[in-house]
């Protein structure tokens, strides 16, 4: 449930996560920090949310039904280039580019389980720039 005092000027984040409990926890952490969050349960829903909402940031899982996180990333990059940063939050390591290659694909990558402080530090860093 979003805070009632949420600032409409706060950055909007599209959160793409297929596990409801994880999605709810990540959403709560982000909203308590003052971000607006639009949640999606798979990559296709996430892509549609980005198309309609034009968020400041996308956070995505990797392994999801319908459209996975890497395919979502490629669709976002094809349409918006790097103008919308994308953070990967996943426990699945196969298929995730390692080391420097992560930065060539995602703006940041976090391995689950992620702590609230790790998530917020990464989101703030990506939104504020290097």
The verdict on residue 2 lying in a domain is: no
Which residue range(s) make up the domain with 32?
A: 12-128
Mean pLDDT score of the chain: 87
pTM equals 0.87
Q: How confident is the model at residue 93, as a pLDDT?
A: 58
Helix axis angle, 20-32 to 116-128, nearest 10° = 60
Query: What total of structural domains would you count in the chain?
Result: 1
124 Cβ partners below 8 Å, 6+ apart? Answer: none
* Residue 3 domain flag: no
**Cis peptide bond prior to 113, omega within 30° of 0:** yes
Q: Which residue has the higher pLDDT, 106 or 3?
A: 106
Taking only the tens place, the pLDDT of each residue in 91-127 is 865 555 555 445 568 899 898 899 999 999 999 999 9
The CATH number of the domain holding residue 95 is 3.40.50.2300
């Amino acid at each position: 449930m979003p805070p009632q005092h949420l600032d409409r000027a706060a950055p909007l984040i599209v959160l793409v996560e297929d596990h409801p409990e994880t999605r709810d926890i990540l959403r709560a952490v982000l909203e308590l920090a003052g971000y607006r969050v639009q949640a999606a349960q798979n990559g296709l829903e996430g892509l549609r949310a980005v198309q309609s909402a034009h968020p400041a940031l996308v956070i995505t899982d990797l392994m999801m039904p319908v459209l996975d996180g890497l395919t979502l990333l490629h669709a976002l990059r094809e349409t918006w280039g790097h103008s919308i940063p994308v953070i990967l939050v996943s426990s699945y390591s196969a298929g995730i580019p390692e080391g420097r290659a992560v930065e060539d694909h995602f703006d940041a990558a976090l391995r689950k389980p992620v702590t609230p402080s790790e998530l917020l530090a990464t989101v703030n860093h990506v939104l504020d720039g290097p």
